[in-house]
Amino acid sequence: MKYMILSYASQREYDEMSGKGGTWSAADLEAMTTFMATVNKELEESGELVETRGLAAPVHTRRVGLRDGVPYVTDGPYAETQEVLAGYWVVECESFDRAVEIAGRLGQCPAPEGATATMYADIRPIMESADDLGF
């Protein structure tokens, strides 16, 4: 079965990682990117990695909706949202438990002290068809 592992961050965290104040140093960022490359390589070698991507900062988001039948666009980030999707992994593995194990490994990513208190991931099975709605 395929699962999507979703990670989250805030605009503030993106700003800090890009050197605009905060607790993220260049060494912290290097440790994070090295760790992620290692985990991604392990998943690739095990045959479980389908795809992974990081997403640009929330400030680059555009939300498209429909109002009175007319599309409208709102620029991000959004005040009502603290955290947004920062990246994802699509993995194909034997069970939900294995997907949780992979997410737990990703949760061991190095970060400045205190930053890990707000880190979490969501894991969702990927549906192959409408028949999967009731799985």
The per-residue pLDDT for 20 is: 87
Give the Å distances, CA to CA, from 26 to 15, 17, 95, 110, 117.
Answer: 13, 8, 37, 12, 20
DSSP state of 127: P
Alpha carbons 124 and 121: distance in angstroms, whole number: 10
Structure tokens at 15: 């700003």
Radius of gyration of the chain (CA): 17
The per-residue pLDDT for 31 is: 94
Domain boundaries, the chain: 2-127
Other Cβ atoms closer than 10 A to 92: 15
CATH top class, domain 2-127: alpha beta
| pTM: predicted TM-score of the whole model, two decimal places | 0.86
| Series of mean pLDDT values for 10-residue runs along the chain (135 residues) | 94 87 87 96 98 92 92 76 87 97 93 77 92 73
Partner residues linked to 51 by β-bridges: 90
